Amino acid sequence: MATLTLKQIRKQFGEVTTLHGIDLDIADGEFIVFVGPSGCGKSTLLRTIAGLEDISAGELAIDGVRVNDLPPVKRGIAMVFQSYALYPHMSVFENMAFGLKLAGMSKTEYTPPVTRAARVLQIEHLLERKPAALSGGQRQRVAIGRAIVQKPKVFLFDEPLSNLDAALRVQMRIEIARLHRELRATMIYVTHDQVEAMTLADRIVVLRAGRIEQVGTPIELYHAPANLFVAGFLGSPQMNFVTGSIVAIDAHGVDVALPDAQRVRVAVDAAGAQPGDKVTLGVRPEHLSLVAGGNAIAAAAIALEHLGDASVLYLQAPGTGETLSARLPALTRIAEGEVCRLGFRPEHGYLFRADGTAFRRLNPLA
């Protein structure tokens, strides 16, 4: 129902700059997810969009109209807080009706939308209760219901599910996805949870220290990360990194020498690079497997974890002290200290320049 345009948005708290010029265009009905490490400014960005923090510099437009100086309601946004932030002295019904009441609606006017939202969220039987008598999941539904009845152009969610247990989180995640399909509203969602980001987002915005590192669809970010940071941030367990240097370049890829002189091959377009350049090799744990020969890294095992459906093997990276991990089939048996050869296909490898930017992968979706 609304497009958002962020132009060079900056936010300062006194001397400290928290957002360093954010540029972002959000399409009508899009589901945008902000991810990034703790303290990178996700909440601050969301709160500046909401109008709870003023914008130090730059321009925020909703549907093409500059809204920098408008209070939250006038921007047509509604927000769901991480801590729910319900009104504890009001019943669920009053919680959801509060905004409509303030807007001057009479009881006969605001009752239908509130009951409709309650029905959508399956909290009709709780309408008379106070928030203290609700479970965490029910409270979060009320908070979402309070946002829905406002009929906002843009929904803002600040880690709405982080207080819920794992099972409930999955259930609510599915409900939020359904809500997005039904309401077709623009939604901006902050999360720490990779699975939430990957499953809900039309596009993910990766933030670091107040700057956007990359914007793209979940598939793009996973298969074609722009740099080391994004590559390391998405994926669990984290992508393995080993430093090395280029020894040979041809049309189908690059040969990389690792610190202990092992050689591996990665299928990337190394245009502009020279043999001898320092690079970082990246391989996702799920792309490694135990092999006898071929394109592989040899490393000593440190520990093995059995997850049930798979085993995660931790190894000492060659030449450096870093830990590598490999996702292997369930019930793999490896002794501690044993040297393993972990193979991967060249097209599954990633390669990063010394400044952290990624080489273009030749066949990213292979």
Partner 1 sequence: MAMVLDKTHRFKVIAAHAGLIFFLALTLFPFLMIVSISLRPGNFAAGSLIPEQISFEHWKLALGIGYTDASGQWVAPPFPVLRWLWNSIKIATISAAVILLLSTTCAYAFARLRFAGRRLGLNILFLMQMFPAVLSLIAIYAVFDAIGSYVPWLGIDSHGSLILAYAGGLALHIWTIKGYFDTIPVEIEEAARVDGATHFQAFRYVLLPMAVPILVVVFLLAFIGAIIEYPVASVLLHQEQNLTLAVGSKLFLYTQNYLWGDFAAAAILSGLPITVVFLLAQRYMISGLTAGGVKG
Nearer to ligand ATP, 117 or 206 (CB): 206
Contact call for residue 18 and Mg ion (CB under 5 A):
no
Gap between the Cα atoms of 125 and 92, Å rounded: 10
- With H, G, I as helix, E, B as strand and everything else as coil, classify residue 51: coil
Residues 37-56: x where in contact with Mg ion by CB under 5 A, - otherwise, as a string: ------x-------------
Spatial CB neighbours of 206, under 8 Å, sequence gap ≥ 6:
35, 36, 212, 213, 214, 215, 221, 229, 230, 233, 234
CA atoms within 13 A on the CB side of 201: 27
Max distance between CA atoms of the chain, in angstroms, equals 77
Contact call for residue 108 and ligand ATP (CB under 6 A):
no
Contact call for residue 191 and ligand ATP (CB under 6 A):
no
Contact call for residue 214 and Mg ion (CB under 5 A):
no
| Closest CB 88 distance from partner 1, rounded Å | 4
Tokens standing for 258?
Answer: 């690792």
Q: Which of 84, 24, 19, 28 is nearest to 55 (CA)?
A: 19
Site residues for ligand ATP, 6-25, by CB under 6 A, read 13, 16, 18
Nearer to ligand ATP, 44 or 227 (CB): 44
Contact call for residue 87 and partner 1 (CB under 8 A):
yes
Gap between the Cα atoms of 88 and 100, Å rounded: 18
Query: How, if at all, do strands 310-316 and 323-329 pair?
Result: antiparallel
Nearer to partner 1, 54 or 322 (CB): 54
Contact call for residue 294 and partner 1 (CB under 8 A):
no
Nearer to partner 1, 92 or 342 (CB): 92
Nearer to partner 1, 149 or 281 (CB): 149
Which strand ranges, in their side-by-side order, compose the sheet holding 65-66? 16-26, 4-13, 57-62, 65-66
Contact call for residue 86 and partner 1 (CB under 8 A):
yes
Nearer to Mg ion, 46 or 268 (CB): 46
Q: Within a 10 A sphere around the Cβ of 53, how many other Cβ atoms?
A: 17
- With H, G, I as helix, E, B as strand and everything else as coil, classify residue 108: helix
Gap between the Cα atoms of 346 and 348, Å rounded: 5
Query: Which listed option, Mg ion, ligand ATP, partner 1, none, makes contact with residue 13 (CB within 5 to 8 Å by class)?
Result: ligand ATP
Site residues for ligand ATP, 29-48, by CB under 6 A, read 36, 38-44
Q: Which of 278, 290, 277, 283 is nearest to 265 (CA)?
A: 283
Nearer to Mg ion, 156 or 254 (CB): 156
Number of residues forming the site for ligand ATP (CB under 6 A): 11
**Phi, then psi, of 103 in degrees rounded to 5:** -75, 0
Which strand ranges, in their side-by-side order, compose the sheet holding 323-329? 289-290, 339-343, 296-306, 310-316, 323-329
Q: Which residue in 102, 271, 307, 335 binds partner 1 (CB under 8 A)? A: 102
Nearer to partner 1, 81 or 229 (CB): 81
Contact call for residue 133 and partner 1 (CB under 8 A):
yes
| Closest CB 38 distance from ligand ATP, rounded Å | 3
| Closest CB 358 distance from partner 1, rounded Å | 39
Q: Which of 216, 220, 198, 196 is nearest to 206 (CA)?
A: 216
H-assigned helices in 70-227: 72-75, 92-102, 107-120, 136-148, 166-183, 194-200, 218-223
Residues 42-81: x where in contact with ligand ATP by CB under 6 A, - otherwise, as a string: xxx-------------------------------------
Gap between the Cα atoms of 177 and 196, Å rounded: 10
Nearer to partner 1, 72 or 282 (CB): 72
**Which of the ranges 70-78, 115-123, 221-229, 291-299 carries the binding residues for partner 1, by CB under 8 A?**
70-78
Quick check: 24 and 70 in contact, CB under 8 A?
A: no
Tokens 């998405």 — which residue? 234
Q: Which residues bind partner 1 (CB under 8 A)?
A: 50-52, 71-73, 77-79, 81-89, 98-99, 102-103, 130-134, 136, 139, 143, 146, 150, 163
Interacting residues toward Mg ion by CB under 5 A: 43
Binding site for ligand ATP (CB under 6 A): 13, 16, 18, 36, 38-44
